[in-house]
Amino acid sequence: MSLFLKQVEDTYELTPSGYSLLVLLLIAALIAACFFTGRDNKSHFSVKQLVFAGMCVTLAMIASFIKIFHLPMGGSITLFSMFFITFVGYLYGIRAGLTSALAYGFLQLIIDPYIISIPQLVCDYILAFSALGISGFFKNSKYGLVKGYIAGILGRLFFSVLSGMIFFGQYASEYGMNAFTYSFAYNGIYIGAEAALTLVLISIPAVNKALKRIRVMANEEEIRGALPQG
């Protein structure tokens, strides 16, 4: 563990080797996704899809730096950062959503880590952030934008609460709570607050209409390909 992590009081920080490993894993995951083929034997991601997904991940990272409220042991209410990741799933479906969410988790781990163990790292950064990609299951669903966002948020909340119970449950007794109640309250504060603000925003008719227009722009090639020829 000392090769990739160094202990600083009760937490760990990434070493240069740790950062290098994460970057290599991120690059490998993105390359694998680019060359992944579906049943039609075609590359799953077009250049346009990569551009739109990359823009969403970039916007999510920028928004994650704008913290409305930050909790001491990790977790923040940000300026709609999680929405941009779930939006990729709404645009392109589950594979693109999960790939973008996984990339976002790696980036969060590189830029703003809070690590106490490897299992906690995996649960809080790989599984919890990847769960935002569940939004892709609702790509073709009625009200898919809202349904997908809620599903992604609940997925992240599940893994965050699980992590809190397992790795931070010892703090629950200080507040007279059991591990589940403490973890749900802690993680629900920042995830729930950001979710509520985001749902209000995307429910505004003008915003909802603009997001749907972006979706049409992002899928113009697919739409044209589905039209009858001649």
pLDDT confidence of residue 145: 94
What gap in Å lies between CA 171 and CA 156, rounded to an integer?
Answer: 21
As to burial, measured by CB atoms within 10 angstroms (0-12 exposed, 13-18 middle, 19+ buried), residue 111 is exposed
The torsion region of residue 46 among left (phi > 0), alpha (psi -120 to 50) and beta comes to: beta
Cβ atoms of residues 137 and 90 within 8 Å: no
Phi and psi at residue 200, to the nearest 5°: -65, -45
DSSP state of 190: H
Phi and psi at residue 209, to the nearest 5°: -65, -40
pLDDT confidence of residue 227: 41
Domain ranges of the chain: 48-223
Cβ atoms of residues 145 and 88 within 8 Å: no
pLDDT confidence of residue 37: 47
What gap in Å lies between CA 98 and CA 30, rounded to an integer?
Answer: 11
Q: Which residues of the chain have pLDDT under 50?
A: 37-41, 226-230
What gap in Å lies between CA 30 and CA 220, rounded to an integer?
Answer: 23
Question: For the structural domain made of 48-223, what CATH number should be given?
Answer: 1.10.1760.20
Angle at 169 between CA 165 and CA 173, to 5 degrees: 135
What gap in Å lies between CA 168 and CA 119, rounded to an integer?
Answer: 12
Q: Which residues share a beta bridge with 209?
A: none
What gap in Å lies between CA 101 and CA 159, rounded to an integer?
Answer: 14
Q: How many CB atoms lie within 10 A of CB 230?
A: 2
pLDDT confidence of residue 129: 94
